[in-house]
Amino acid sequence: MQQPSPTLFFGLNYPPETTGISPYTGAMAAGLVRRGREVRALAGHPHYPDWKVAPGYGQWSRRENIDGVSVHRLRHFIPARPTPMPRAAAEITFGIRQVFTRWGQPDVVVAVSPALISSALVRLRARITHPTTPFVVWVQDLYGLGLAETGQGSGAAARVIRGIEKWLLRSASMVVVIHDRFADRVHHDFGVPLERTAVVRNWTHLPPMPQIDVAAVRRAHGWADDEIVVAHTGNMGVKQGLHHVVDAGRLAHRAGDKVRFVLVGRGSQRDELAERIAGEPTTTEIMPPLDDKAFSEVLQAADVLLVNELPGVAEMCVPSKLTSYFASGRPVLAATDAMGITAQEVITAKAGMTVAAGDPAALLDGVKVLAADREEAARLGENGKRYKETVLEETFAIDRFDSLLADLTTAAAGQIPTHPKKSNKIGTPL
């Protein structure tokens, strides 16, 4: 009996990384295995957000099985500081490793972007050796837009990146994005036909959060009962603009406000933030990454959950932390562009409030407004949970992705799809 052809994922980031894109790539691949697919992944060694290889990893080539997915790890260059040029070098070396690795005969190829450059190299190889195999680009961040919004790319380099992104997306059989706004951008900015785009929303990768003893958790972390605790979790990179949070903590210290800002995680800006905290009194502190249990406890024990973005960041990404924030039942404060995707998501969920990015005083005032009305805070938290359960649901997302792949492979085989065609946007029937 002939073995089924595997679905082949290409992604720089993969579990056991717990931050950023990795949890979604890993959960999607494992979810497709549970639905009867054979899934393989060509991935990098775990290194994000520290930008150094995790202990036990780093071999030239390593194979492992994670939740039924056959994962082939490829060693590549990893920069100590992920500025644009070293990061591009990392993607190029990873892409070259992927290009010269055996692929077998997959029924569909899924490239996760970022990483954009390595995905483009994979696409070049696919057009030569697998020209009839459906090719899906799963867009988690809009790469060129991200460089522009964070001020990290301009001139010729920015035009090259935009050209690569345009070519990759337009050449794909299907472009899967994580938000309706992304679908609009890839259509209007890059000319990708709407019929070749699909929206599959991200979800919380945490298990259901059990009720906790909030007072006990706060005591364990040294948080006083009368303090307002504001938690920001995840990557500490350029686009988060967390130096503004440190400055808000300085304002709180000067005013004698009992507001504690807690930054949980790691990232390229962590050391600079630590130096900034040490340089002048502030109520801001840094905690290392936490396991799932401790992480969910911190979310539920905080008074306010913070999304903070650098001024100018508006369209490049949907912060993955929002899915976990909504699941926790705590109110969300988003310091971001009022017209951006993050603000839209918080407002649509009716789960919190927004303030201007880059304004420490506005950030501190927003915290105090949310904390002043406990009944309203509880209502916002419940709204977030409801939004997570009805819109950001893992089972529905994986079923949707599986259905899209089935349509593509059926069409490639010249057969009629076995189920009705679905809208390119979740929840909107044709």
Looking up tokens 């006083």 gives 224
71 near 63, Cβ under 8 Å?
yes
Classify 22 as helix, strand or coil.
helix
| 294 C-beta neighbours (distance < 10 Å), count | 15
Percent above pLDDT 90 for the chain: 75
Write the CA distances from 157 to 124, 144, 411, integer angstroms. 20, 10, 37
- Please list the rounded mean pLDDT of every run of 10 residues in the chain (430 residues): 79 92 96 97 94 94 97 96 87 97 96 94 97 96 70 71 93 95 91 95 85 95 96 91 96 97 92 94 94 93 96 78 94 94 94 96 97 96 94 93 96 60 40
Q: Which two tokens stand for residue 162?
A: 């935009």
| CA 274/CA 266 separation, integer angstroms | 11
202 near 397, Cβ under 8 Å?
yes
Q: What is the pLDDT of residue 415?
A: 55
Q: What is the pLDDT of residue 151?
A: 63
**All domains of the chain in start order, with CATH:** 7-203+393-412 (3.40.50.2000), 214-390 (3.40.50.2000)
Looking up tokens 């304002």 gives 251
Looking up tokens 């809009």 gives 142
Classify 111 as helix, strand or coil.
strand
- Residue 311, C-beta contacts closer than 8 angstroms, at least 6 positions apart: 241, 337, 356, 357, 358
Q: What angle do CA 409, 411, 412 make, to 5 degrees?
A: 60
- Residue 168, C-beta contacts closer than 8 angstroms, at least 6 positions apart: 111, 113, 116, 119, 120, 123, 137
**Cα maximum dimension of the chain:** 74
| CA 243/CA 322 separation, integer angstroms | 20
Residue 60 exposed, middle or buried by CB count within 10 Å (0-12, 13-18, 19+): exposed
Classify 326 as helix, strand or coil.
helix
320 near 310, Cβ under 8 Å?
no
Torsion sign (Cα): 384, 390, 394, 398: negative
What is the pTM for the complete model shown? 0.83
Q: What is the pLDDT of residue 135?
A: 98
